[in-house]
Chain A
Amino acid sequence: MKYSIENVSKDFFSGRSGGRRALHGVALVVPAGEHLSVLGSSGSGKTTLFRLLNATLRPTRGSVRMDGYDFSEMSTGELRGARRRIGTIYQQHNLVPSLTSLQNTLCGCLGRWSMAQTVRSIFYPGATDVQEAMHALELVGLADKRFSRADELSGGQQQRLAIARVLMQKPEVILADEPIASLDRALADEIISLLIRVGAQGRRTLIVALHQVEFALEHFPRVIGLGEGRMRFDLPSNSVHDDVLQDLYGKHRPDSQRVQDEKTFQREFGCSR
């Protein structure tokens, strides 16, 4: 599935304080099956971009097209069909807290369930659905937590559960908003490679927002940078250099990057800076 975003701006209006512009004239084309990483510090508009891409937010100006069809021109039913094809992993996980892990995973099916199936599944989900959900839970390593409520899980476990829900949805596009923010290094590696493996499986488009520059450069062939709601760069990962990043993050570069620099420095000069 191919995305094309044309000159999109998004303003938020909030009562007294007036408006805030979250995105300024962003343009982007993502061909089907491409793996793309979005870099940017907090408040740079990444989350807004993702909500535009998953068809839950209307742009103030410009258009978001999926295979050439504009989200803004779809009927309510068509829009639901489009959303079914796009899986989202939210930064705050957005799980239903009082449902079990298994039930939360089953939520991924909602788009393809009929009304009758929806009601029935609360009490007695179909065996194939359960099998699929269990498989998804096993992939993210949560099989033993299947009967724990989502709000009883740790941050990292909730993150993996959110991924299991997307696996269950079997979308054509996976949007992941900082999917490894609450994970340790080893698990982060595993989750990123899992996402990439899943993406590669069905030639799925994969768009991942990351804080960790080294992950983005290592795993994604294309990297874009967002800063203050504007597109700062759109480059193949092998031509993203320090000066580009310096420009993106200003002086406040993420800690991991600073550690990375320190490592390079030590390796080259054999002593600390």
Chain B
Amino acid sequence: MRRLSNANSAALASDLFVRGRLWTLRRIASLVAMAFGLAIVWRIDGVQLNTVFQRSTAQALWTLLRGLFPPDLSLGFLGVVFRALLSTLATATAGTFLSVLIAIPLAALSTSILWRRGALVAADQGSRVAILRAAASRAVLAFLGFLRAIPDLVWGLLFVTAVGLGSLAGTLALAVAYAGVLGRIYADAFADVDPRPLEALQSIGATRAQIFLRGIWPQARPTVIAYTLYSFECCVRAASVLGFVGAGGIGYEISLSMRLFEYGQALTLILAFVVLLASTDVVSRRLRRSLQPNAGQAEAPGFGQENRASRNGSIGPTLSRAGYALVGAIVAGSFYFAGFTPQHFGDAHVLGNMLRFWRGMFPPDLAEEFLLGMGPLLLQTLAISILGTIIGIALGGLLAIPATSTLVLVERDSPGLQSASQRTLRWSILCAARFALNVLRSIPDLVWVLLCIVVIGIGPFAGTLAIGLHTAGVLGKLYAETLEEAPRQPVEALRAVGAGPFQVLFWGLWPQAKRMLASYTIVRWETNLRVSAILGLVGGGGLGQAVYNNVQLGFYARLGTLLLLIYALVMVSDWLGDSIFRRSVAT
């Protein structure tokens, strides 16, 4: 076999980057473009790095930290916290209930199979009626998409303006925003059912309503219930934050405490909030898991010989009469606590205000000067989301490495000496990193905005930092989990070569996990774009700022335009995220 000469191998090293697709022209070009883009983003965002290193910033940070500790645990304040938690839960429950009520009929309307003429399963393609009917179901889906694309916080602001401060506005906002989310999910669930039983029902002579109730609904029910529970979890999260725009609940108390510089109270509220989220998470996960085994069975199509009682049991959870009564009482109580009292709602002003407000938004203001004025804010929103995500990637990645047990801990069965102190040190590094990630993640981005504003002042930079901190927590946890789940065998081989933890990371874990890491990051960026559109509501810059100003000034026509802009932004980000995602998976 031929030995390579030295000159040959130098050529080979450069060959490696061409053929090995490491240093191609395209790659260089994209790097340059990225650097250029980053510079623009940096400029638009209005990052003032020098403010970070000013003395006043350090002082503000010190004041904040000193104010946060100790948290206010006086009995009187704990009562306030308890009432706020109760109203948050009530808002979430009532909001979820209403959103289900809105979503189910809309989803049924969007089920194209129910719109077909003649045979349900064999499509009557081509005819004009068929096209019209397809368009009808598309239109319902687009409406649901619109409800979903407007962030819940913006809905909150709109309803606060329409019906006044308090939980009532929050409940209505949740009802509308999550009707969009659930409607879409229900529509998918209804569309995914096995069509054969429907055909059978039709041949018996069932009407469309009967086919829906007896054919589609029983099949889709487990999915519907599981996602409704999941949506309830999201609603609790959202209900807590809605208070930032005055829609009641614990968020209202947090923003009040922050405004009054009562940081000790704010910390208590934040802790209560984290506990609330963690416990709903646990309860909802347990409920969903108890439904899981049933969900699998219910997917089996066909009408067997089993009696009805056992079929009901296999389709989903069955509640006793007492159970139904309990759920009913909880929902009724929630509506009461959420402000749906007769004297409040019976007041004709509420409905009249709402109507006047909604009418004010049509037609949207499309004046050129206003639209041009929005351009910079739109770019700023984009810049905040990009820069925030980059901060999140950097900080999250940095924290993910010590939070990965594969890298930090010595494998359980490895030979070699390890003193107790060394083992403790490794464990404490792991625990500290995971704790930091959990703190970053469980404090919502809007609370981070309030905290950042205290330290570096109102503006887009505070919003960027806030998104960065929250994203670091979310991505860091995902990164660490992904790295831990990378296949072990190649890693073992590298260890047997004598590789240390960083070598295992760069040559063993990174190549195996990078695709997953990239997809998680893209998904997170999409979410961040939505968030950056509303940061302005609490002083974090971007489009939200304009939304807030125009609501305060009563320019409802402009508000209509802004809603359309946000809708467009979210649609574009969805499309962009999907196409980047598909490309990164393809190559």
The interface of chain A, by Cβ under 8 A from chain B, is 54-59, 64, 71-76, 78-88, 90, 92, 94-100, 102-103, 107-108, 110-113, 115, 118-119, 122-128, 130-131, 134-135, 138-139, 147, 165, 169
Q: CB-CB < 8 A to B500: which residues of A?
A: 80, 115
Q: CB-CB < 8 A to B503: which residues of A?
A: 110, 113, 115, 118
| B553 contacts chain A at the CB level, 8 A cutoff | no
* A95 lies within 8 A of B9 (CB): no
| B492 contacts chain A at the CB level, 8 A cutoff | yes
Give the complex CA separation of A57 and B3 in angstroms. 38
- The proximity string for B residues 401-438 relative to A, scoring 1 for CB distances below 8 Å and 0 otherwise, is 00000000011011111100010000000000000000
Instruction: Considering the complex, give the chain B residue whose CB is closest to the CB of A99.
Output: B511
Q: CB-CB < 8 A to A54: which residues of B?
A: 496
* B493 lies within 8 A of A115 (CB): no
Instruction: Considering the complex, give the chain B residue whose CB is closest to the CB of A10.
Output: B413
A135 CB contact (under 8 Å) in B4, B6, B497? B4
| B494 contacts chain A at the CB level, 8 A cutoff | yes
Q: CB-CB < 8 A to B12: which residues of A?
A: 127, 130-131, 134
For the A-B complex with A90-B492, A128-B9 known, give 19 more contacts whose Cβ atoms are closer than 8 Å. Answer: A55-B414, A56-B492, A58-B413, A58-B415, A71-B416, A75-B417, A79-B415, A90-B489, A92-B489, A97-B487, A99-B511, A115-B502, A118-B502, A118-B503, A127-B10, A134-B12, A135-B4, A138-B4, A147-B19
Instruction: Assess A110 versus B410: contact at CB under 8 Å? Given A72-B416, A76-B416.
Output: no
Within 8 A of A (CB), among B468-506: 487, 489-490, 492-500, 502-503, 506
Q: CB-CB < 8 A to B514: which residues of A?
A: 98
| B1 contacts chain A at the CB level, 8 A cutoff | yes
Q: CB-CB < 8 A to B366: which residues of A?
A: none
Instruction: Considering the complex, give the chain B residue whose CB is closest to the CB of A107.
Output: B507
* B415 lies within 8 A of A71 (CB): yes
* B499 lies within 8 A of A79 (CB): no
Q: CB-CB < 8 A to A99: which residues of B?
A: 507, 511
| B17 contacts chain A at the CB level, 8 A cutoff | yes
Q: CB-CB < 8 A to A85: which residues of B?
A: 498
Total inter-chain residue pairs, C-beta < 8 Å: 157
Q: Which of B8, B10, B13, B416 has the most CB of A within 10 A?
A: B416
Instruction: Assess A130 versus B9: contact at CB under 8 Å? Given A57-B414, A96-B511.
Output: yes
| B20 contacts chain A at the CB level, 8 A cutoff | yes
* B415 lies within 8 A of A64 (CB): yes
* B416 lies within 8 A of A79 (CB): yes
Q: CB-CB < 8 A to A83: which residues of B?
A: 495-498
What is the total number of residues of chain B having a CB less than 8 Å from a CB of chain A?
47
* A96 lies within 8 A of B492 (CB): no
| B16 contacts chain A at the CB level, 8 A cutoff | yes
Q: CB-CB < 8 A to A169: which residues of B?
A: 497
11 contacts between A and B (CB under 8 A): A71-B416, A72-B416, A78-B416, A83-B498, A86-B496, A88-B493, A92-B489, A99-B507, A110-B497, A123-B22, A130-B9
* A135 lies within 8 A of B3 (CB): yes
* B1 lies within 8 A of A139 (CB): yes
* A72 lies within 8 A of B417 (CB): yes
Give the complex CA separation of A75 and B423 in angstroms. 12
Give the complex CA separation of A162 and B498 in angstroms. 16
| B166 contacts chain A at the CB level, 8 A cutoff | no
Q: Which of A59, A76, A78, A113 has the most CB of B within 10 A?
A: A76
* B496 lies within 8 A of A74 (CB): no
Q: CB-CB < 8 A to B3: which residues of A?
A: 135
Give the complex CA separation of A236 and B500 in angstroms. 39
| B583 contacts chain A at the CB level, 8 A cutoff | no
Give the complex CA separation of A138 and B12 in angstroms. 14
* A100 lies within 8 A of B507 (CB): no
Q: Closest Cβ of chain A: how far from B320's Cβ, in Å?
A: 35
Q: CB-CB < 8 A to B414: which residues of A?
A: 55-58, 79
Q: CB-CB < 8 A to B19: which residues of A?
A: 147
Q: Which of B12, B16, B21, B422 has the most CB of A within 10 A?
A: B16
Q: Closest Cβ of chain A: how far from B139's Cβ, in Å?
A: 44
Within 8 A of A (CB), among B2-43: 2-4, 6, 8-10, 12-13, 16-17, 19-23
Q: CB-CB < 8 A to B415: which residues of A?
A: 55-59, 64, 71-72, 74, 79
A80 CB contact (under 8 Å) in B23, B490, B498? B498
Give the complex CA separation of A139 and B511 in angstroms. 26
| B388 contacts chain A at the CB level, 8 A cutoff | no
| B444 contacts chain A at the CB level, 8 A cutoff | no
Give the complex CA separation of A90 and B495 in angstroms. 13
- Interchain residue pairs A-B with the least CB separation, the first 5: A111-B498, A84-B498, A131-B9, A94-B493, A110-B499
Instruction: Considering the complex, give the chain A residue whose CB is closest to the CB of B493.
Output: A94
* B497 lies within 8 A of A84 (CB): yes
* B507 lies within 8 A of A96 (CB): yes
* B490 lies within 8 A of A96 (CB): yes
Q: CB-CB < 8 A to B490: which residues of A?
A: 94-97
* B507 lies within 8 A of A147 (CB): no
Q: CB-CB < 8 A to A102: which residues of B?
A: 16, 20
| B508 contacts chain A at the CB level, 8 A cutoff | yes
Instruction: Considering the complex, give the chain B residue whose CB is closest to the CB of A57.
Output: B413
Q: Closest Cβ of chain A: how far from B181's Cβ, in Å?
A: 35
| B512 contacts chain A at the CB level, 8 A cutoff | yes
Instruction: Considering the complex, give the chain A residue whose CB is closest to the CB of B9.
Output: A131
Q: CB-CB < 8 A to A165: which residues of B?
A: 493, 497
Q: Closest Cβ of chain B: how far from A26's Cβ, in Å?
A: 16
Q: Closest Cβ of chain A: how far from B301's Cβ, in Å?
A: 35
Give the complex CA separation of A83 and B417 in angstroms. 15
Q: CB-CB < 8 A to B1: which residues of A?
A: 138-139
Q: Which of A112, A127, A169 has the most CB of B within 10 A?
A: A127
Q: CB-CB < 8 A to B506: which residues of A?
A: 118-119, 122
* A110 lies within 8 A of B9 (CB): no
Q: CB-CB < 8 A to B2: which residues of A?
A: 138
Give the complex CA separation of A57 and B413 in angstroms. 5
Q: CB-CB < 8 A to B418: which residues of A?
A: 76
A111 CB contact (under 8 Å) in B6, B8, B492, B499? B499
Give the complex CA separation of A134 and B495 in angstroms. 23
Instruction: Considering the complex, give the chain A residue whose CB is closest to the CB of B486.
Output: A96
Q: CB-CB < 8 A to B13: which residues of A?
A: 124-127, 130
Give the complex CA separation of A171 and B512 in angstroms. 26
Instruction: Considering the complex, give the chain B residue whose CB is closest to the CB of A166.
Output: B497
* A110 lies within 8 A of B507 (CB): yes
Give the complex CA separation of A111 and B515 in angstroms. 26
Give the complex CA separation of A43 and B407 in angstroms. 30
Q: Closest Cβ of chain B: how far from A89's Cβ, in Å?
A: 9
Instruction: Assess A107 versus B17: contact at CB under 8 Å? Given A72-B415, A99-B507.
Output: no
Give the complex CA separation of A79 and B443 in angstroms. 42
Give the complex CA separation of A82 and B414 in angstroms. 13
* A147 lies within 8 A of B493 (CB): no
